[in-house]
Chains A and B, each alone.
Chain A
């Protein structure tokens, strides 16, 4: 077993900007402690994005954007919308993912 850990201390909390600072054991420096459920929430968001993509692109709902009455560029607009969803899920993951 390694020697005794050094530098443990208890830090007081505060609230700075959007990060919640909680009383916690930290190592040397004070770091914002994120919500424990945030990684799970980010994963949920990614899954939600995937399900949305599947619903729009691979289920019979695709008939809504793939019809002779729709403009020819509508499928590309839907594609762009899915890309926006992908960007949002990537952003959520970058912020809170594991």
Chain B
């Protein structure tokens, strides 16, 4: 016995060392990480579904219920067919929210610590029979191969091996946030070992014991009842019950959930598992029927669960293969299950009530290891307590029915947003009570409830008179109906509704969680609960993962950081404690206030995202619409309910001079004057819309029309859209047109008046001329001359008005009487008239005439020209400044006269319109806008040119070119 014990112990330790070596090599990178992420390795790791139940128990199950044993594997095949539609969304959800177990998912979805505790405890209790199944399979196998070996010793040895490996690799990392490639590859290796073992033993049975295809035909001919025993149960009710139980167990068993979702396989690996995992299960079951028949032939009367070992023992060396295969299957199950359950216990029964001091990571890891040890010990105790009758499969099915109780809750997670925590809890409690009564109590020798249930089931339908059918129907009916009814009559909390939206594939669903004031505040907040070390480490990790700087974050970035941090902490301490850590912040604000930042961040995330399919097409439409908004000719400003800017388009940038990036996300009150206060006033106004407003911007008046619309119908955000139109130019133009219209009216009136004035004026001139010819003294004669001269000028002005009223300001409309005229006298006379009018207002006039220029011109008209130019120059000058008049000959028989002032100058824009009729830069009451237009017309009528040059702030030069009189022409 000592030799056999030593061989067993040695084999177990050697196997453990091989597992450790594989896991360690993977963790170190010697075995590439790509191997761990390969779809085949993932499918093999999912093979943890096949335990010692498959290796040993399936043969016993087949002996009792024929091909019903296949239903345990065909259920997962059906479940795998739904991987793209059910597993994949669940995988994305768990990955996005760092949810590592079924309890995490339900706790998050229904925001209930109580539910998480119930689920965790139930999963632990429901898994313990499974643990005991593994221990029992190994101990019985050891006892069969080495009779006399104490079963307790074997059980202890097995527990020690799996405990060592689990502690080393199942709890190595902090929390369950980081994938454990070592664990994945080791479990995949264990699948290969058990696959090789069962295929080898199956081949031995088929070709060795039964004699190949011909031998099998002979054996079947000798045992004609074998095929009917095999196929008969398939057409009975339990087949469907087993299919339902196993299809839910395929991804809800703690170990399955852990490998499928917590170890973060790639989506590609998950989709390939649709067929790779069923193929693995097929290969694992291929040898069961031959082993059954070979076992019956070799060892009739032996417990069928041991047929695998009995067949193997018939060939040298095969016993070890069969035992190692069983050991591998059992240890993989215990390792992964205890890892998953320890995480659930830690997150939902430990961290909500225990705040570790000191090195939190180390203490959490230590707690996880203790929990793993406790679970394995509890499995051993269950093995000791539970009745050994009924075969290995019975214990496994008890666990399967327990796991099936989670199906209604998962429907609530994935498909039914109306489900409430009260409904889930009520349904689960009812299901658990029935499960305990009809499946657990009989295993403890109390079969009363089960017998009553079977009697009731037989009355409903005789085919339901089966332990598994009746228990499945009873628990699921009670659980599901209670869940649905209570959900319908109870109300979900806001937190549940938000979680339901997130679980409903809307991973960007808004959260009541909002931003904190700074990274430092966030760090302090985490430190207050989890300690300085964790706060420092977690905040830095979150910043690194989001590629954000450590300081100077905007509100939306802080919001994103806090959300990411919450998800990371969820992987460390569970979703609800993580939520409690981060949402207790007193500085949290309404999520609505960061809508702008969320939109901006979402857009920046989408900018860098690689989208495909429908998402890519929607993104193209989004970009197109955003560009339309950006390029609208109207200025658009969108505000959220807290008056933070969500959109600030390009036209608005042009009007306000404020950059879009500068304004987005800012509160209106923080925007520079006058826009912030103005837009805020407009946004909250109750009056009619649109409304025109005039405000001062950069020293000039701006007229804007604002139209306002509320976004009440969108997502309850109560935002506001403001559409602005800059009317400044239009209003100025309208003002000028109105002014010119007025002037035109006055012009017409003046022309009429001029016509009326003309006749009496002619009379005055004639009378004065007659009087002058009479014998009057010289003084009177001179005065009469002046009177006549001024009266003639009045006639000319009146004539101009008439010209404008008839022919506009074109030179064709001005009639000039060209005679040889002294330019110097014209200029001096204009200066004299300016003197008389007192319009120079202290401005010095300096006339520099190079020579006496003779020109061909209309004396009166030219005086009018220079009087006008001098008057304008004096008007533009300040007292004490100088106005210079210079005349010089030009090549080509021309003379150029410049009237230069040192006044304020004329803007380039005004310069282009200077000679337009009715255009004036003077106040409306001071100028008619006709003077320079008349000047222009007169100069052009003389065949000359006039030009204005000006520099704002330095002065203006009016330059008049006139043709000189031909030689010999004189006054």
Interface hits, A39-95 → B, CB 8 Å: 39, 42-43, 46-47, 49-50, 53-54, 57-58, 60, 62-63, 66-68, 70, 72, 75-76, 79-80, 82-87, 89-90, 93-94
What residue of chain A has the Cβ atom nearest to residue B77's Cβ? A82
| B289 located at the interface, meaning its Cβ lies under 8 Å from any Cβ of chain A in the complex | yes
Known: A89-B84, A93-B84. A1 touches B234 (CB 8 A): no
Interface hits, B231-290 → A, CB 8 Å: 231-232, 234-235, 239-240, 243, 268, 271-272, 274-275, 278-279, 282, 285-286, 289
Q: Are B80 and A86 in contact (CB under 8 A)?
A: yes
| B469 located at the interface, meaning its Cβ lies under 8 Å from any Cβ of chain A in the complex | no
| B307 located at the interface, meaning its Cβ lies under 8 Å from any Cβ of chain A in the complex | no
Complex Cα distance A31/B459, Å? 64
Interface of B is mostly: helix
Give 1 or 0 for each of B632-658: 1 = CB within 8 Å of chain A CB. 000000000000001111100000000
Chain B residues with CB under 8 A of A67? 231
Contact of B78 among A34, A43, A47, A54 (CB under 8 A): A54
Q: How far is the CB of A28 from chain B (nearest CB, A)?
A: 11
What residue of chain A has the Cβ atom nearest to residue B235's Cβ? A63
Q: Are B613 and A46 in contact (CB under 8 A)?
A: no
Contact of B77 among A4, A36, A79 (CB under 8 A): A79
Known: A25-B620, A46-B84, A80-B282. A1 touches B660 (CB 8 A): yes
Chain A residues with CB under 8 A of B616? 31, 33
| B441 located at the interface, meaning its Cβ lies under 8 Å from any Cβ of chain A in the complex | no
The A-B contact count (CB < 8 A) is 143
| B759 located at the interface, meaning its Cβ lies under 8 Å from any Cβ of chain A in the complex | no
| B819 located at the interface, meaning its Cβ lies under 8 Å from any Cβ of chain A in the complex | no
| B448 located at the interface, meaning its Cβ lies under 8 Å from any Cβ of chain A in the complex | no
Complex Cα distance A71/B80, Å? 27
Segment of B122-130, B531-539, B623-631, B827-835 in the binding face:
B623-631
Interface of A is mostly: helix
Known: A1-B600, A58-B243, A90-B271. A53 touches B227 (CB 8 A): no
Q: Are B660 and A90 in contact (CB under 8 A)?
A: no
Q: Are B620 and A2 in contact (CB under 8 A)?
A: no
Q: How far is the CB of B221 from chain A (nearest CB, A)?
A: 13
| B82 located at the interface, meaning its Cβ lies under 8 Å from any Cβ of chain A in the complex | yes
Chain B residues with CB under 8 A of A8? 623, 627
Contact of A76 among B85, B286, B615 (CB under 8 A): B286
| A98 located at the interface, meaning its Cβ lies under 8 Å from any Cβ of chain B in the complex | yes
Q: Are B279 and A83 in contact (CB under 8 A)?
A: yes
Q: How far is the CB of A7 from chain B (nearest CB, A)?
A: 10
Known: A1-B599, A24-B620, A53-B78. A72 touches B227 (CB 8 A): yes
Chain B residues with CB under 8 A of A42? 84
Chain B residues with CB under 8 A of A87? 274-275
Give 1 or 0 for each of B72-93: 1 = CB within 8 Å of chain A CB. 0010011011111100000000
Q: Are A89 and B81 in contact (CB under 8 A)?
A: yes
Complex Cα distance A25/B285, Å? 53
Chain A residues with CB under 8 A of B77? 53, 57, 79, 82-83, 86
Complex Cα distance A36/B618, Å? 10
Q: How far is the CB of A67 from chain B (nearest CB, A)?
A: 6
Q: Are B81 and A5 in contact (CB under 8 A)?
A: no
Interface hits, B638-691 → A, CB 8 Å: 646-650, 660-661, 664
Known: A57-B77, A79-B77. A3 touches B613 (CB 8 A): no
Closest 10 interchain pairs by CB? A66-B234, A87-B275, A90-B274, A86-B275, A68-B228, A50-B81, A93-B84, A66-B231, A68-B227, A86-B274
Question: Residues on B close to A: CB < 8 A?
Answer: 67, 70, 74, 77-78, 80-85, 216, 220, 227-228, 230-232, 234-235, 239-240, 243, 268, 271-272, 274-275, 278-279, 282, 285-286, 289, 596, 599-600, 603-604, 607, 612-617, 620, 623-624, 626-627, 630, 646-650, 660-661, 664
7 residue pairs A–B, Cβ–Cβ below 8 Å: A2-B664, A5-B623, A5-B627, A38-B613, A57-B77, A87-B274, A97-B613
Besides the contacts A57-B78, A93-B271, what 14 more A-B pairs have beta carbons closer than 8 Å? Answer: A2-B600, A8-B623, A33-B616, A42-B84, A46-B82, A53-B81, A62-B235, A66-B67, A75-B231, A75-B234, A83-B282, A89-B81, A96-B613, A97-B84
